[in-house]
Chains A and B, each alone.
Chain A
Amino acid sequence: MEKTTEHMQRPAERIAEKSTNGDRRPPRSFTKLLWQRLVELWIFLTILTFFLIRVLGSRAAQGIFSQLIHRHPV
């Protein structure tokens, strides 16, 4: 039952609750949350870079861009 309640709390609430218990070490849930965000950020950045370099930077995309520029000259 206790577990269920903890699960229903928001991560931020859980962090707040644990950070007031006087423990000087970073709370486990905080490091876990940080780790989750880092993992997400890493994967997101690799995908974004891939999209920018391999997709938008590809010859096909360059061709499409140059066609667009020729159609709508600035």
Chain B
Amino acid sequence: MRVILPILANFFVVGAALGFGSLFVHLIPKAFSELDRFVLRFLSGFGLLGTILFCVGQVRFSRLAILSVLFLGVFIGFVSQGRGTPVGWPAPKNLRGSAIPAAIVFGVVLLTAVGGLAFPTGDMNNDSISYHYLGPKVWLREGIIRPVPDEVTTYFPAVVETQYGALMAFGGARAPQFFSVVSLATILLIAASLAIRLGLDPSGAWWVAALIASMPAVYHGIYSGFLDALFASFLLAAARVAFDAERRAEYVLFGFFCGFAMGTKYTGILAFPVLVLCAILIALGTRHRPAWLTFKSAAAACVAAIVIASPFYLRNWILYECPLYPPPPALLRFFPLTHPIPNVIQALVKEVRDTGGGMGRGVTAFFLLPLNVTYHTAVFRGAGGIGLVPLALGPFALFAQRLGAFAKGLLLFAALESVSWFLTAQESRYAINIFVISALFGVIGWQYVAGSVSRNARVLAAAAVGISILYGWWMIFPERSEDVHAALSSSYEAKRWHAETACAAGFDFINDEPSVKKVLILDPGVAPFFVDKPYVKPFGVWGERSVPSADTVPDVMAQLPALQVTHVFDRRPKGESFHLPDHPPGLTLVFEREDQRIYRVD
């Protein structure tokens, strides 16, 4: 049961997404292949499902409300099936020459599936524990989608997190972990779709999938709740539609994908104008039609994108005075806050500066990016990099064929996205869409080298591909080995829970002790995701203050009766003392470990 429910919950959400996706089928260009249609249908449905859950969740985010939305999606899917728009499953055809890459992909998918069944562990340094999973858990408990006051990052757009909420509602905490299989499949399918469009044969598309699945920097954005691969999939789907778009309906679909990207991450706002610019340039350069018609279609795409992303930004604007919350300092001039949060904004800006400038900011650093993302991955949290193929073979793609408009569009998009990434936050996960494009051109370059250069070059190219994949596995498999072990062994999972989760014993006490009704968490470093009961956390890691006019622990303790908590959870950070003195008045110590104390409020 501990693994069946998470798997079933994932099937339910994917089924609902495919159902909602059938609403977009008539917007997909008729010339698109079965594979294109399937992946675009799933991604559009997935984006719409997340947006609907978010809108419904503003009023009610109960299991019943979620169930109704999911059933609606499944129902729409059945109706469309009956009307002759069946869910086209992209059956693999012509597998000759694809056995090796297919086996590589299968190995990574299997690893992801088994590892995805492990219970999440970690601390506040893990983005999923600190907010991707925390938000949905609190929304389900409160029965409404509202940002968690002690974690400012839960104000971010939430197309994916709302679906984590749906998964948790029916499959528990393991369900969003298992969703990594869907993330992996999605990015591989959209990459295969692009590969076929670029003229690669099915074997080439499989090799693209194998290389991407073996790229540690891509894989890192797929599992443990990270949503970067899905974000990249939305962008690549937008590019897939935009660079071939002719009818206005196709531009509208392109806009929807941009909107879903903006509803997933704030960085979608940066990618949106880049995609629109590329689409306009391609249309002007290749389509023989008046320029005004192109601009009109692009305007339709912009309207569609803004409309589909608006719920996330309007909610923040209406309830918290700025569409982007927490507001970047430049926006404060236009959206002055009644309740300013300068310390939180400063902390976030500092974090972006500290972690996002890994490769340097100069022109030389920019042109050295291809070398650095291949060889010096640690400086941008590269998780092992992107392998060797993009650098070793990618440049030869330019000689492989006379690049068509679609390929030029992808290259322009990758170049502009690289500039945007370089100037903002240089974190490897944020560049997954660029890495996927680099793998596509890597395989095109490989086919060129293998087919028309020399025998030596053919051997060297095959060695580069082999080294890339083996190195990727060397990075990825040990990283997931503990997850796999935990999924297969309950005793190891219990041991790992205590070893890897700060305050695990304290969480066990709070969750198992019936007298604990509501708990006050004093230390910002404690991860409230692991608390299954209502809680108050007055101090967040970014300097959030969730209890009004309480800036210190004594301030909070003075308001203890008003907070209506039954227990107080104190933790001693490394090298410091507990927040409360020994024997605090009005509290009885009921649980103690070296670095944790839990008091009952008398």
Residues of B whose CB lies within 8 Å of any CB of A are 374-376, 385, 388, 391-393, 395-396, 449, 453-454, 456-457, 460-461, 463-464, 467, 471
Contact (Cβ within 8 A) A46 B388? yes
Task: Given A46-B388, A46-B391, A50-B375, check contact A39 B454 (CB 8 Å).
Answer: yes
Q: Give min CB distance, B40 to chain A, whole Å.
A: 35
Contact (Cβ within 8 A) A42 B454? no
Range of interface residues on A (Cβ < 8 Å): 10 to 19
Q: How far is the CA of A53 from the CA of B375 in the complex (A)?
A: 7
Q: How far is the CA of A39 from the CA of B450 in the complex (A)?
A: 11
- Minimum-distance CB pairs A-B, first 9: A46-B392, A43-B460, A36-B454, A53-B375, A39-B457, A40-B457, A39-B453, A40-B456, A43-B392
Picked from A35, A40, A50, the residue with its CB within 8 Å of the CB of B388 is A50
Q: How far is the CA of A48 from the CA of B321 in the complex (A)?
A: 55
**Interface hub of A42, A46, A47 (most chain B Cβ within 10 A):** A46
Chain B's interface: helix, strand, loop or mixed, by majority? helix
| CB-defined contacts of A54 to chain B, threshold 8 Å | 375, 385, 471
Task: Given A36-B454, A39-B396, A39-B449, check contact A47 B375 (CB 8 Å).
Answer: no
Contact (Cβ within 8 A) B388 A47? yes
- Some 10 contacts from A to B, beta carbons below 8 A apart, are A39-B454, A39-B457, A46-B391, A47-B388, A47-B392, A47-B463, A47-B467, A50-B467, A54-B385, A54-B471
Contact (Cβ within 8 A) A43 B467? no
Contact (Cβ within 8 A) B460 A44? yes
Q: How far is the CA of A46 from the CA of B376 in the complex (A)?
A: 13
Contact (Cβ within 8 A) B392 A42? yes
Contact (Cβ within 8 A) A50 B396? no
| CB-defined contacts of A36 to chain B, threshold 8 Å | 453-454, 456-457
| CB-defined contacts of A46 to chain B, threshold 8 Å | 374, 388, 391-392, 464
One digit per residue, 1 when the CB lies within 8 angstroms of any chain B CB and 0 when it does not, for chain A 50-74 equals 1101110000000000000000000
| CB-defined contacts of A44 to chain B, threshold 8 Å | 460
Contact (Cβ within 8 A) A43 B454? no
A29 at the interface (CB under 8 A from B): no
Give the nearest-CB partner of A44 in chain B: B460
Q: Give min CB distance, A29 to chain B, whole Å.
A: 13
Q: How far is the CA of A47 from the CA of B461 in the complex (A)?
A: 9
Contact (Cβ within 8 A) A47 B460? yes
Picked from B374, B393, B449, B460, the residue with its CB within 8 Å of the CB of A50 is B374
Q: Give min CB distance, A55 to chain B, whole Å.
A: 8
Picked from A40, A47, A50, the residue with its CB within 8 Å of the CB of B454 is A40
Q: How far is the CA of A55 from the CA of B374 in the complex (A)?
A: 12
| CB-defined contacts of B463 to chain A, threshold 8 Å | 43, 47
| CB-defined contacts of A35 to chain B, threshold 8 Å | 453
| CB-defined contacts of B392 to chain A, threshold 8 Å | 42-43, 46-47
